[in-house]
Chains A and B, each alone.
Chain A
Amino acid sequence: MFLRLLSDIQWRAAHPKWRRMTSSQRSTSTTAEPQPVSLPAQAQVVICGGGITGTSVAYHLSKMGFKDIVLLEQGRLAAGTTRFCAGVVSTARPVSIELKMAHYSNKLYQQLEQETGVQTGYMKTGSISLAQTQDRLISLKRIASSLNVMGIPCEIISPKKVLQLHPLINIHDLVGAMYLPEDALVSSANVSLALATAASRNGVQIHERTSVSHVTIQKGRVTGVETDRGRIRCEYFVNCAGQWAYELGHSGEEPVHIPVHACEHFYLLTHPLQDPVSSSLPTVVDPDGRIYIRNWQGGILSGGFEKNPKPLFTEGRNQLEIQNLQEDWDHFGPLLSALLRRMPGLEALQIMQLVNCPESFTPDMRCIMGESPTARGYFVLAGMNSAGISYGGGAGKYLAEWIVNGYPSENVWPLDLKRFGTLQSSRTFLRHRVMEVMPLMYDLKVPRWDFQTGRQLRTSPLYDRLDAQGARWMEKHGFERVKYFVPPGSDLLDLEHSKTFYKPDWFDIVGSEVKCCKEAVCVIDMSSFTKFEISSTGDQALESLQYLFANDLDVPVGHVVHTGMLNEKGGYENDCSIARLSKRSFFMISPTDQQVHCWAWLKNHLPDDSNLVLEDVTWKYTALNLIGPRAVDVLSELSYAPMTAEHFPSLFCKEMSVGYANGIRVMSITHTGEPGFVLYIPIEYALHVYNEVMNMGQKYGIRNAGYYALRSLRIEKFFAFWGQDLDAFTTPMECGREFQVKLDKGMEFLGQEVLLEQKQNGVYKRFTMFILEDHDTDMDLWPWWGEPIFRNGRYVGKTTSSAYSYTLERHVCLGFVHHFDEKTGEKLVVTTDFINQGEYEIDIAGQRFQAKAKLYPFSSLFTQRRRKDEVELSGYQRE
């Protein structure tokens, strides 16, 4: 309550105009009369939610020139989670886009007081992230590497230095720490009010005590908002309802699935110390102790992310404002122990309050923003995973750009609402998953880590068979996929002990799977890939696809085409393989997590024509990828059909029988550059075909393999993968895929202009392969992705994926190289010479390894002759 009063007073005192408005509202609301300020009948944008995200979106939209904006808040501004927020603005984030948002937020808040006159309590205190273990220190060093190249001051410091910065810390169990001098503290409610004030000056109408009952959607577009005070017609609706975003999304006739779930979050407030703590004392984050500690009014504020979180509101119990939930000291006990262990001097410090403040979490620990895949104009910004104040500013900016420009200025795919589908919006799933996510906030995040809850939702029909053979699973978009197969008798480490930044325990297992792919034949179940069929009565399908895809799809029936689905800027919205099944029907294979995004993109771009049918057939087919030189033998024995390159060339698709089963769609692609086939099997035949393949393959040394082997194979051959290497800001020209673009195919396609321009003027970044030279696989830290790339000692970009190549016996990293002007930092054209004439280093957690840059893959790795026009490597060699 105390915080609340404080913020109200400041807010009103600073703004006479606002005071009039709010005081009239306040007086009317206390007398429970109808409010005098009536809602407008129409607006361009309606924002629901007056917390940090809602006000930030309103602020940025109004700055970007949108005038007709209404912000609705069911209670009072900044009265929800925002009010209770601990107010720590920290850029110590592992995900690059989150780091950028936090960095922007920090800069925004710093000047907000000057801009608006509202006191925000901004104080640049810096923050110290402590490491109790070497592994933790490595993870901090990785963050430090990426902060440094962004120009954010950041330092890895010794425990002694920690003591100098913060005299209360017990440093005896520390191995090091990361210091970010620029991190800040704010009063989050006041920041939110400042943003609201600025927004209202720019014409945003703010209505408190107005709740949205549902959003009306017609023909897949937002048309208006129903509130308890009447209806507002609008073009755009922004759901910033925080922990109520899920419920609000489900309130309409057409649900918008926003997978967020609240957990209770506790923090402690104390009275001032005898020597009051300085307000400039750095914030301390002790992830191994699961706590954070900041100074607060001469005392401290300390909270954390416990191992056993308490999810709440699973049943969606709505309430106007977050009432002060029960304090639960027993639950807070372990965190209090950690606090006293970290700062033993605080024993005698007197408790003021234990605050219980619900925070909303998402299934993958990243916030949710973007447009609904089903309702155009319905935007979402929610699920801040307890970092609302750090992300709020930046996230609001990106979302505003999204609404105004159609797409934000950065790649926000990791945060895009469309990475989730309906399958992540089960209440049970969310409840279970957030219980894993919340502790993960402070758990050690290591490469190749998988969620343990909410699993075995989507499985292949072969799941049990594979599991019985030692499969170890990972999950993508709810689908279980095999990582690798543990041979009988070999013991892997348990989950907790297998966490490492170094060589993982499965190294040899995957190595032998790769070897089998190279020398014999392996089967990988790839059923999770998204599969669409597009067909039409006439030429509509071909015409539409020719417009949406850069490659020429007017190929003979039975051909498979690799092509990008590009946006107006030539960037990859999707990267897929399309088989022409007949004159008028196409079969499209995309990455697993494209299911929602690609569907929405196609739905939005395909003409509204009942003769053109788009169908999601993902669930209809089980895909078996037969990789290896002997795949051809296995398949020909099973089908009594010649499968050699003369009869079945690369990038070909044919329906045929395998064993007793007919109608198996066989494609001569493997997604790895190795010879082989993918079999698309109607699911009822899956077990039969699998058994036949395994039996027949025995004499050819067939074995099961998993995605890790696949990954190693594709990366050593310089195959980019959408979602990891490719994104909406990468064009085919930038990743050496000009050969997949047919600028002269005789008709216009999306992104054509940009590609033409790039073809003439060159590109500003270039996808490059790096071979680590002086890297000891056994002893050195492994690259992951996101490692800075240095050319002649200067930062030029980051890696996007990496893998150990068992053939090259080296680590291979893929990443983008930019050419920054040495003086201005301006991006210059990247030429082949620029790439070839540099000395490269890759920075892994602060340690630099020499790397050899290559713009084309090793031809020695390709064993098979390919159809001439489609050979990937020729594309590179042509330059």
Chain B
Amino acid sequence: MLAASCCDRRMCVCPGPRRIAIPVRSSRLPLLSDAMPAPAHLFPLIRNCEISRIGSTACYCHHKHLCCLSSHFAHSHFRYAPQKKFAALYRPKEHFNHFIHARDYASTPQRFYLTPAQVNSILKANEYSFKVPEFDGKNVSSVLGFDSNQLPANAPIEDRRSAATCLQTRGMLLGVFDGHAGCACAQAVSERLFYYIAVSLLPHETLLEIENAVENGRALLPILQWHKHPNDYFSKEASKLYFNSLRTYWQELIDLNSGETTDVREALINAFKRLDNDISLEAQVGDPNSFLNYLVLRVAFSGSTACVAHVDGVDLHIANTGDSRAMLGVQEEDGSWSAVNLSYDHNAQNEHEVERVKMEHPKSEEKSLVKQDRLLGLLMPFRAFGDVKFKWSIELQKRVVESGPDQLNDNEYTKFIPPNYHTPPYLTAEPEVIHHKLRPQDKFLVLATDGLWETMHRQDVARIVGEYLTGVHHQQPIAVGGYKVTLGQMHGLLTERRARISSVFEDQNAATHLIRHAVGNNEFGTVDHERLSKMLSLPEELARMYRDDITIIVVQFNSRVIGAYQNEEL
């Protein structure tokens, strides 16, 4: 219960739910570029508790009043506004004293920068590697293995990751889930989605077999083999509930037996939609157990994106909902690295998405549908799991909240109805699925939440991971040849290469290496330890202003096997 109440506060009172309505995303970049290279500006301020106070005040206000501040406004006041004036304008009455105390406590250690060893222990705390086991000294899978890692910015982290091997069908599932308004939805999706996908892929006979086993109390065929970091937990309390929903799903699949072989694309779409539907239903129905009842509500009222890869031989399917991203690392013939996007972001920057949303709603709502690059001016991803506030009718929302537990009732966020809310649902969990046939030059796949993509360009990601995986010694020697290169250009290039090499040696995990770059890169694109150290030593409340949760899975492909597949087909 303690954990639950903690979660409750996070979700409802001061979650810093950037994804919802806090325009920090845009404000964060200028902060990064302005404040970080000149840390002297930043850290004396922190010592005086000013910026953190202002920061959290702003955060708090944002949250309460949603979009009341423009990003520019927030940004400029962050750095220059006299504290008094700011406080007078936006003083949050109840919690002000509390905040000051918290800041005092949290900010004093900031004088001490982290040592490289401390930095490494933070970066490596969540790293996980999986190597596909070999048979007869050979790896016959098209996947060599994967590295994954996550770095929290929220406390607790709202990102989730999952990886599993399908045992009843071929293939491997990998996914990253970026939660918002709390982590409950992302947690649920990370636990459940792969089961839904696996079940969708199962042939009729296997489904029958499983159903019979359950029916007769026999041992169940294992469906998935999970590859989990010790910190990746499954909720025990809800497993029965989740299982029952899943069972209902496969029973329906058995009934619906079309006799056709399962198409992966269909399976993925069905699984996504079905899970989101189940989340919604479970919240509406409720549960006699008050803990579970509260849990399903939290899952439904929070949200999560999902970006899932299914790899089976040379067939790679990416199912994406929201603004996490999948990217393929391709090694060109000259050894250089390029990036191929295997997903589209579902957000305001994607014209097709904006079109789609507008198509689904009456013309009268056109203006209010997307405001400040957000759905209804509130939500950044245009597709997501959960988030029933954007899916249910107002009446349903009110009914559920009123009949729900007190915690829910007291929560201003859940009670709050989005403005211009006329024709729900505004949000869907239906994924966009992209199929890609793997080629020998496709060396790796990166699945990552937007925490990575907003700090790094995919081309840099491809290069950094590519060079990491192929090893430093494979770093192409520079040859001037006939090119026109100046001493200054060469110097810049060499400095960068040197820094890159020194950072590679520290990591045994490609995802860790990528996070190191994402957080520590300076203007030259090289890891700057001082910067990395400062970024990682930010207090919880500030961290969220400078970076987002980052979750990364790097899947390494087996070019030899893929090449063999290709030859067979030829």
Contacts and interface: CB of A to CB of B under 8 A. Distances in A.
Interface in A352-394: 352-354
Given A327-B479, A354-B480, A333 B485 contact: no
Given A347-B486, A348-B486, A336 B491 contact: yes
Contacts of B494: 329-330, 332-333, 336-337
A328 interface: yes
Interface in B482-539: 484-488, 490-491, 493-495, 497-498
Interface string B282-307: 00000000000000000000000000
Contacts of B3: none
B491 to A, nearest CB: 5
A589 B493 CA distance: 60
Nearest to A336: B491
Given A350-B484, A351-B485, A330 B498 contact: yes
A340 interface: yes
B477 interface: yes
A270 interface: yes
A326 interface: yes
A875 B411 CA distance: 109
A332 B493 CA distance: 12
B486 A336 contact: no
Interface string B80-103: 000000000000000000000000
A350 B488 contact: no
Contacts of B487: 268, 270, 336, 339-340, 346-351
Interface centre among A328, A332, A350 (most CB of B within 10 A): A350
B183 to A, nearest CB: 44
B478 interface: yes
Nearest to A339: B487
Interface in A432-449: none
Contacts, number: 60
Contacts of B490: 329, 336, 351
Contacts of A346: 487-488
A251 B477 CA distance: 36
Nearest to A271: B484
Contacts of A329: 477-478, 480, 490, 493-494
Nearest to B479: A327
A519 to B, nearest CB: 51
B471 to A, nearest CB: 15
Contacts of B480: 327, 329, 351-354
B194 to A, nearest CB: 44
A352 B498 CA distance: 22
Contacts of A327: 477-480
A436 B241 CA distance: 71
Interface string A506-544: 000000000000000000000000000000000000000
Nearest to B493: A329
A435 to B, nearest CB: 20
A330 B478 contact: yes
A491 B137 CA distance: 56
Contacts of B484: 350
Contacts of A326: 477
A337 B491 contact: yes
A340 B488 CA distance: 8
B490 to A, nearest CB: 6
Nearest to B492: A347
Given A329-B477, A337-B491, A349 B498 contact: no
Nearest to A341: B491
B19 to A, nearest CB: 42
A252 B440 CA distance: 54
Interface in A406-448: none
A330 to B, nearest CB: 6
Nearest to B484: A350
A455 to B, nearest CB: 29
Interface in A237-272: 268, 270
A101 to B, nearest CB: 34
Nearest to B501: A330
B488 A348 contact: yes
A561 to B, nearest CB: 63
B193 to A, nearest CB: 45
A353 B478 CA distance: 12
Contacts of A332: 494
Contacts of B497: 330, 333
A646 B17 CA distance: 102
B498 A333 contact: yes
A350 B479 contact: no
Given A333-B494, A340-B491, A349 B486 contact: yes
Given A326-B477, A351-B480, A333 B495 contact: yes
B422 to A, nearest CB: 61
B148 to A, nearest CB: 31
A268 B480 CA distance: 11
B500 to A, nearest CB: 10
Interface in B338-359: none
A612 to B, nearest CB: 60
Nearest to A333: B494
Nearest to A268: B487
A347 B495 contact: no
Interface in A296-353: 326-330, 332-333, 336-337, 339-340, 346-353
B219 to A, nearest CB: 58
Interface in B439-498: 475, 477-480, 484-488, 490-491, 493-495, 497-498
A330 B477 contact: yes
A619 B117 CA distance: 50
B465 to A, nearest CB: 21
Contacts of B498: 330, 333
Interface centre among B485, B490, B493 (most CB of A within 10 A): B490
Contacts of A330: 475, 477-478, 494, 497-498
Contacts of B486: 347-351
Interface string A709-745: 0000000000000000000000000000000000000
A434 B486 CA distance: 32
A330 B488 CA distance: 14
A348 B487 CA distance: 6
Contacts of A336: 487, 490-491, 494
Contacts of B485: 350-351
Contacts of A337: 491, 494-495
Nearest to A346: B487
A349 B488 CA distance: 8
A353 B479 CA distance: 9
A347 B491 CA distance: 9
Interface in B13-68: none
B560 to A, nearest CB: 30
A410 B39 CA distance: 63
A330 B490 CA distance: 10
Contacts of B475: 330
A675 B34 CA distance: 76
A586 B275 CA distance: 103
Interface in A632-679: none
Interface in B257-274: none
Interface string A819-836: 000000000000000000
B241 to A, nearest CB: 58
A347 B488 CA distance: 4
A301 to B, nearest CB: 13
Interface centre among A333, A349, A352 (most CB of B within 10 A): A333
Given A333-B491, A337-B494, 19 more contacts: A270-B487, A329-B477, A329-B490, A329-B494, A330-B475, A330-B494, A330-B497, A333-B494, A333-B497, A333-B498, A336-B487, A336-B490, A340-B491, A346-B487, A347-B486, A347-B488, A348-B486, A350-B486, A352-B480
The 3 A-B pairs with the shortest beta carbon distances in the complex, nearest first, are A347-B488, A333-B494, A329-B478
13 contacts: A327-B478, A329-B480, A329-B490, A330-B475, A330-B498, A337-B494, A339-B487, A346-B487, A347-B488, A348-B487, A351-B486, A351-B490, A353-B480
